[in-house]
Amino acid sequence: MKISIITVSLNSAENIADCIKSVVSQDYQDFEYILIDGGSSDGTIEIINKWRTRDSIVLSEADSGFYDALNKGIGMASGDVIGILNADDVYANDRVLKKVAVCLEEGMVDSCYGDLVYVDPIDSGHVRRYWRAGNYSAKSFLQGWMPPHPTFFVRSKVYQRYGGFNLELGTAADYELMLRFLARYKITTSYIPEVLVKMRMGGQSNATLLRRLAANRMDRKAWQVNGLKPCPWTLLLKPLSKIGQYFFREPRAQGSRIRKSSC
């Protein structure tokens, strides 16, 4: 099973080396690494070229934003599975891709996801928030749930069949894509109950609670474009559910469960 990892960067010189090293140090070797840069001017490209491996694919050109760049990467991907790692983020350890491959192969599912921790931008060992995703059910999105997007690995055939990121959804494009895949088209998924990604607080990919509240209109549009109807409380619960992440507690180990996204 070949896994394609996509990282999008723009003036990410401060953290891009850590991101790349966390990918190329994986003990699962059947993967390709696609780096899409939006035309950085701060030395990001030089750092990418320093740390890239022989099998990496690098594209540096102007784009129409983060999700447009991701769509370019998806179009270039040759793997059976596609994962996305933001330039400010790192994989939690060198066994993440192996665990993803085992989960997808043994569970024979279309996708999988895990937990994510937000860490201090200087001290990556200091966890500030713990996003425990939990198991997916048909009612999860109605209850304000979504999986952490950087931990969401999807078979490439799903993108080929149901499309990439909708650029009209702005910062809700990742939410819309996961809603479309899991709730509308009911792809199967499995939860890996451990931290897969560390995300730096304050990075470009982070969204504060206030920003998420302001994005309510786009979240609502994500349901509308898919012909789905949220509950009256769904879009309120979505940002409110993040509050508990600030009062995290390490979860006990548990077996991964496979859930079909059927209603």
Q: What is the pLDDT of residues 74-85, one digit of tens each?
A: 999 999 999 999
pLDDT at residue 249, rounded to an integer: 56
> Averaged over 127-154, what is the pLDDT?
96
Element (H, E) at 210: helix 209-214
| Confidence at 201, pLDDT banded by 50, 70, 90 | confident
Please list, in sequence order, all residues whose beta carbon lies within 8 angstroms of the beta carbon of residue 209, skipping any fewer than 6 positions away: 239, 242, 243
Q: Of 217, 198, 187, 188, whose CA–CA distance to 115 is shortest?
A: 198
Whether pLDDT at 133 is above 70: yes
CA distance 139 to 58: 39
CA 130 – CA 115 distance, rounded (Å): 8
**30-40 confidence digits (pLDDT tens):** 999 999 999 99
The distance in angstroms from the start CA to the end CA of the chain is 29
Higher pLDDT, 255 or 30: 30
Angle of helix 44-51 versus helix 16-24 axis, rounded to 10? 20
Q: Is the pLDDT of residue 69 over 70?
A: yes
Task: With CA atoms as reference, report the closest residue to 156 among 181, 183, 137.
Answer: 181
Average pLDDT score, the chain: 90
pTM summary value: 0.90
Whole-number pLDDT of residue 207: 54
Q: What is the pLDDT of residue 202?
A: 74
Res 259: pLDDT: 43
**Under 8 Å between Cβ of 69 and 39:** no
* 218 has a pLDDT exceeding 70: yes
pLDDT of residue 262: 26
Environment class of 148 (CB within 10 Å of its CB; exposed 0-12, middle 13-18, buried 19+): buried
Instruction: Give the chain's domains with CATH numbers.
Output: 3-259 (3.90.550.10)
